[in-house]
């Protein structure tokens, strides 16, 4: 199967702090990949090195066989991104933010339909700053899907969502994945990772300490429950 995201021994340091240390991974088309780890383990830095918003000190990255720094403009026609912290203009409304995003792509998705699908269809006239945390999070997932991407990067995708909304998001993402979308996500919710991800990588202080499927993680750690397995493998301890 075609490798959509290919990362080879990427390293990134901030001064003396080694944020990402020799991380390699590969994501195949139509699969979901989960990057896990405690706060500060290097997940966001890894994503930013993959997207080219941060320059890796060492190693190579290719997404859809393109170099994210050199081929930025053609790559991001086909890639959707939701950052953990997403900036928006102070007075902007939902419809304006969607419109402003959609106009940048050659063949964007219908953003009104996406807003309906994610349960914020009645909020399009609302200022983004007046949305609740969960609504705003869903809006940013909508923005990441507006490009009709081949691969989507979602950094902490369901943070701030209630249980029902999370299930709804999972269902939509699974359908999109069945339609061929490749998903790269980070999450702190192990039930979510178990429900969505085909492969995972656990980072600890910038190093990959586990790489494989959820089943393999359980097997390797000897834990029945995936959250226990994650805690054991990531060295955080179960207590």
Partner 1 sequence: MKAFYTLLKNELKLNIRNMNMVIFAVILPLVVLVILGFLYGTKPASDGADYTFLEQSIGALCAISVCAGGLMGLPLVVAEYRERKILKRFQVTPVSPAMLLAVEFLIYVIYSLVSLITLLLVSGLAWGVHLRGSWGEFAGSWLLTVLSTLSIGMMVGGVAKNAKSASVIACVLYFPMLIFSGATLPFEVMPEIMQKVISVFPLTQGIQLMKSAFLGLAVEPLGLPIIVMLCVTLTCSGIAIKCFKWE
Residue among 167, 6, 4, 186 at smallest CA distance from 83: 186
Among 73, 164, 179, 224, interactor with partner 1 by CB under 8 A: 73
Among the candidate windows 14-22, 32-40, 80-88, 182-190, which touches partner 1 by CB under 8 A? 80-88
- How far is residue 200's CA from residue 49's CA, in Å, rounded to a whole number? 18
88 C-beta neighbours (distance < 10 Å), count:
18
The total number of residues shown for the chain amounts to 239
Among the candidate windows 30-38, 86-94, 191-199, 218-226, which touches partner 1 by CB under 8 A? 86-94
Among the candidate windows 59-67, 91-99, 180-188, 196-204, which touches partner 1 by CB under 8 A? 91-99
Among 16, 55, 85, 179, interactor with partner 1 by CB under 8 A: 85
Cβ closest to partner 1, residue 151 vs residue 217: 151
- How far is residue 154's CA from residue 41's CA, in Å, rounded to a whole number? 17
Whether the Cβ atoms of residue 153 and residue 184 lie closer than 8 Å to each other: yes
Q: How far is the CB of 73 from partner 1 (least distance, A)?
A: 5
Residue among 139, 109, 143 at smallest CA distance from 124: 139
Q: Tell me, by CB under 8 A, how many residues bind partner 1.
A: 26
Q: Which residues bind partner 1 (CB under 8 A)?
A: 51, 53, 72-74, 76-77, 79, 81, 83, 85-92, 96, 99-101, 103-105, 147
């Amino acid at each position: 199967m075609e490798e959509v995201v290919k990362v080879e021994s990427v390293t990134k340091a901030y001064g003396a702090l080694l944020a990402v240390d020799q991380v390699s991974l590969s994501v195949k088309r139509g699969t979901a990949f989960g990057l896990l780890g405690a706060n500060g383990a290097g997940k966001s830095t890894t994503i930013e090195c993959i997207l080219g918003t941060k320059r890796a000190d060492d190693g190579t990255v290719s997404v859809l066989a393109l170099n994210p720094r050199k081929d930025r403009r053609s790559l991001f026609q086909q890639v959707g991104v939701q950052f953990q912290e997403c900036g928006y203009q102070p007075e902007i409304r939902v419809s304006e933010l969607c419109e402003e995003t959609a106009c940048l792509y050659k063949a964007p998705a219908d953003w009104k339909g996406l807003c309906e699908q994610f349960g914020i269809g009645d909020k399009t006239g609302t200022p983004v700053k007046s949305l609740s945390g969960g609504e705003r999070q869903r809006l940013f997932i909508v923005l990441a899907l507006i490009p009709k991407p081949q691969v989507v990067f979602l950094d902490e995708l369901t943070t701030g969502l209630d249980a029902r909304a999370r299930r709804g998001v999972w269902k939509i993402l699974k359908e999109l994945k069945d339609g061929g979308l490749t998903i790269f996500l980070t999450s702190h919710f192990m039930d979510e990772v178990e429900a969505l991800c085909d492969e995972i990588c656990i980072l600890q202080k910038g190093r990959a300490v586990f790489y494989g499927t959820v089943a393999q993680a359980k097997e390797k750690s000897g834990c029945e429950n995936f959250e226990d397995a994650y805690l054991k493998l990531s060295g955080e301890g179960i207590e």
